[in-house]
Structure 1
Amino acid sequence: MKTQMKAYQLQDASGVDGMKLVDLPMPEAGPGQVLVRIKAVSLNYRDLLTVRGGYGSRQKFPLIPLSDGAGVVETIGPGVTGLKVGDRVVSSFFESWHGGEAEESKLRSALGGALDGVLCEYRVFPEHAVVKAPAHLSDAAAATLPCAALTAWSAVVKCGQVKPGDVVLTQGTGGVSLFALQFAKLAGARVIATSSSDAKIEKLKLLGADETINYKTTPEWGKLARSLSGRGVDIVVEVGGVGTLNESIRATRIGGMIGFIGVLAGQAQSEPRISLMVMQQQRLQGVTVGSIDDLKAMIAAIALHKLEPVVDRVFPFAETKDAFAYMATGAHVGKIAITIP
């Protein structure tokens, strides 16, 4: 019986160099818990911010980073009834957000932030906090679902309530944006997708984007998107933040929704067009992942439609720091995963 496990642990906010591979005591499942052998994990932009100290004094150290993992139930504790040894499962982002509306107490249970994450060989979870993985997905693909996929699902399906004939605008080729494109197409919507690269635009077309815009060559892409959609788009999946918000407002129809998710574009170059948003009765909706109930609903849809996440590259556990460096380049299309032997 193993008495120790390997884990990557952030010792401080000095960046990737502050992340060390350490030996930790082997965890054990207690009442109502399961011990999961982690087989794959995936990176989110949030993880890059975490290792760079982007969360300031709120960040706990030492910390096992990453929220998104997939693995196999190794042992079960007393009282566990819904899972058995050998079940393939994925982690949930917020361990305490079972369902219902978000509350402060629920949002304090984020893996890889407030709580230790999944960049380790084994982790104990409450039974309710893991969900069975879609059978058709590899471990690396399943590991992309807890944060990026669920954030896109919450923006497009739960909050946006997209329906056939709607027009959804996505930004770039990161994990959230590509999942949003896929979910929008499953729902029968038209998708306008933006990117800074013509090569990446070709990949967006292969995934089903109906219209594409290179925002480098068309800086006022909001006006073009509005024109392409006829009356303005119904939903914008806003991952750029305040740096792209003005163009999103410009692109959105009267009464439409901007799902505000990320901060990838940096600071705004001009004052936000809040008055235009007000006059057009647009809704600015903050989106922070989702609940465990939402995760179950999304996984059911993924399993039904045999949806395949876009995984750009898979790194071995020993090359974890290289995976972070690759994410920092922004060259990826879709998700970056790490497999754990």
Structure 2
Amino acid sequence: MKAVRIGAPAGLDRLETVEIADPGLPEAGEIRVRIHATSLNYHDYRIANGEALAVRGRIPMADGAGVVEAIGEGVEAFAVGDSVVSLFFPQWSDGPARIGDFAQTPGDGVDGYAREVVVRPASWFTHAPAGFTHAQAATLTTAGLTAWRALVVDGKLKAGDIVLTLGTGGVSIFALQFAHAMGAHVIATSSSDEKLERLRELGAAHTINYRATPDWGRAATDWTGGIGVDHVVEVGGVGTLPQSIAAVRIGGHISLIGALTGRSGDVPLTAFLVKQARLQGLIVGSRSHQIDMIRALETTGIKPVIDRTFALEDLGEAFLLQEAGRHFGKIVVEF
């Protein structure tokens, strides 16, 4: 069967399409899944291009969606023919966060889903949302669940709240969709007026071009009448955090998800203390969170925004599109 492996040294031009052995039939507690799609995330990008430590020959990609082909003894949650989607943290079933590394994350500590078939414990998957294509389901494992946890699980989002999202990547688009569907008001940022128009079409109540308005934190606060936003979905890191602090209301909530602008730097502590806000780091979520999110997707009718799809052997080209930052929403690989 076909798979993609990371070469040595790692690099987007060193991803190797290879033939590997079929994993065979599942044992007790396992399922065999024919993978049909995966989607790109920043975590996958850092592994593929060598920024993060990767084992030579590792099969990348944390997200995987497909169809159950066989079940092992004792498996009751799934049946042959079920559409399923993978988990980012297979060992985190429910409760508070207990995992702070990627030792069991597919595509990082263990082989991922850039391959046609896997045999894994049944607990490594959930059902995909009814009516979703495999490409749509493959966007949920990392980006969808991160946005869900940021706003719903940790942020306790409620109707009437004001949410600030940054950019047009997968997490930010999902955050906009979840917030809008739940009756919140969204302020969305981008450096592209064309993308801002698309954000308004998705339900953004207000948009800000952060290149034209460098003090976008103040602009967001002004739009709220000087109060500030209830939630910030912060994907930039140290380069954008000062503006996010400026935007958040007193006692508000900032979800620190990404570090696209760097991994260390100065933070305006006095401004943050005055805001008395909650800054919470998070990495994706649990199996229970994913099940709840999927139920919400089925109820609200939200569908992921997919920018473009690629073939498995073109995974490197897909990463180059991600690297360029020209996409809107998710980039998917189908096979």
Q: Bin the TM-score by the shorter chain.
A: over 0.9
Match of 1:55 among 52, 56, 70: 52
| Alpha-carbon contact 1:13-1:51 (below 8 Å) kept | no
- Tell me the distance in 2 between the aligned counterparts of 1:294 and 1:84: 22
Distance change (3 Å), C-alpha of 1:183 and 1:31: same
**1:272-327 deviation per Cα after TM superposition (whole angstroms, max 9, x unaligned):** 11111112211110010000110000001001111110000111223222111111
Match of 2:248 among 245, 248, 252: 252
TM score, norm. by length of structure 1: 0.95
| Alpha-carbon contact 1:168-1:233 (below 8 Å) kept | yes
Match of 1:262 among 258, 264, 268: 258
Distance change (3 Å), C-alpha of 1:276 and 1:245: same
The answer to which of 104-113 and 70-79 deviates more is 104-113
TM score, norm. by length of structure 2: 0.96
Is 1:274 the counterpart of 2:269? The answer is yes
- Tell me the distance in 1 between the aligned counterparts of 2:276 and 2:100: 31
Q: What is the match of residue 92 of structure 1?
A: 87
The answer to which of 165-174 and 47-56 deviates more is 47-56
Q: What is the match of residue 30 of structure 1?
A: 27
Deviation, structure 1 residue 14? 3.0
Q: What is the match of residue 59 of structure 2?
A: 64
**1:24-64 deviation per Cα after TM superposition (whole angstroms, max 9, x unaligned):** 111131210001000111111111111122223xx322211
Q: Which runs of 4+ in 1 moved over 4 A?
A: none
- Tell me the distance in 2 between the aligned counterparts of 1:23 and 1:14: 19
For this pair of structures, how many residues does the alignment match? 333
Structure 1: state its 5+ residue gaps: none
Q: What is the match of residue 21 of structure 1?
A: 17
The answer to which of 98-107 and 109-118 deviates more is 98-107
Is 1:229 the counterpart of 2:224? The answer is yes
Paired amino acid for 1:332: H
**1:115-154 deviation per Cα after TM superposition (whole angstroms, max 9, x unaligned):** 1110000011211121111121111111100000000001
| Alpha-carbon contact 1:99-1:293 (below 8 Å) kept | yes
Paired amino acid for 2:245: I
Deviation, structure 1 residue 109? 1.8
Is 1:175 the counterpart of 2:170? The answer is yes
- Tell me the distance in 2 between the aligned counterparts of 1:320 and 1:60: 18
Is 1:139 the counterpart of 2:134? The answer is yes
- Work out the percentage of aligned pairs sharing the same amino acid: 47
**1:175-211 deviation per Cα after TM superposition (whole angstroms, max 9, x unaligned):** 0000000111111110000001001001100000000
Q: What is the match of residue 37 of structure 2?
A: 40
**1:68-87 deviation per Cα after TM superposition (whole angstroms, max 9, x unaligned):** 11100011111111111110
Structure 2: state its 5+ residue gaps: none
Match of 1:7 among 3, 6, 17: 3
- Tell me the distance in 2 between the aligned counterparts of 1:105 and 1:281: 26
Match of 2:147 among 146, 149, 152: 152
Deviation, structure 1 residue 12? 2.6
- Tell me the distance in 2 between the aligned counterparts of 1:261 and 1:44: 12
